[in-house]
Amino acid sequence: MIPTQVTHDIEPGELLARVAAYKRGDWRLVQICATTLDVFEMNYSFTRGAEFEHVRVRIPLENPSVPSITGEYFGAFAYENEMHDLFGIQFPGLKLDYCGNFFKTSVKKPFATSMCVIQAGAPKGGEARG
């Protein structure tokens, strides 16, 4: 049996309200990840018992920014610092900001561009060159 998964596509401006609703409902934040497409696609995953839901926001590759959810889920600081360092995404309101020193990779923002995007001819994001 494959457990049901629900994905809610929302605008970045709705993110904090939606996350606050999950917090009130006693959902656990299990992961945040970004995917580089022609935009940055960000997935926030929550679980409560057997329920498993995702909230998805899309933000542009140029000057990417999305509000931090560390006000609701403080543990999200690890995911947000990781995405800042690997994708170059800014998180205004981040409560524990390591200012680019969380993942010290030799290539800055290594995940900010994607081979799939380059092959499709879409603009590059960030500073990495594959």
Partner 1 sequence: MAERTVIPFGPQHPVLPEPIHIDLVVEDEHVVEAIPSFGFIHRGLEKLVEKKDFNEFTYVAERVCGICSYIHGMGYCQAVETVMNIELPPRAKYLRTFWAELSRAHSHLLWAGLLADSFGFENLFMQCWQIRETILDVVEETTGGRVIFGAAKIGGVRRDVDADTLKRCAAKLADAARSFEELKRVFRDDYSVKKRLCGVGMLSRDDAWRLGAVGPTLRGSGVATDTRLEGYAAYGDLKIQPIVETACDSYARCMVRLHEITQSFELIQEIVARTPDGPVFEKPKGYPNGEYFARLEQPRGEVIYYVKGNGTKNLSRFRVRTPTFANIPPLLHMLQGCELADVGLLVLTIDPCISCAER
CB closer to partner 1 out of 17 and 115: 115
Interface with partner 1, residue 35, by CB under 8 A: yes
Interface with partner 1, residue 31, by CB under 8 A: yes
C-alpha distances in angstroms, 70 versus 37, 102, 114?
25, 16, 27
Query: Kind and range of the H or E element at 31?
Result: strand 28-36
Closest alpha carbon to 56 in 69, 67, 41: 41
CB closer to partner 1 out of 65 and 74: 74
φ, ψ for residue 62 (rounded to 5)? -80, 130
Q: Which spans of this chain sit near partner 1 (rule: CB under 8 A)?
A: 1-3, 5, 28-31, 33, 35-37, 43, 45, 47, 50, 52, 54, 73-78, 82, 98, 101-105, 110-111, 114-116
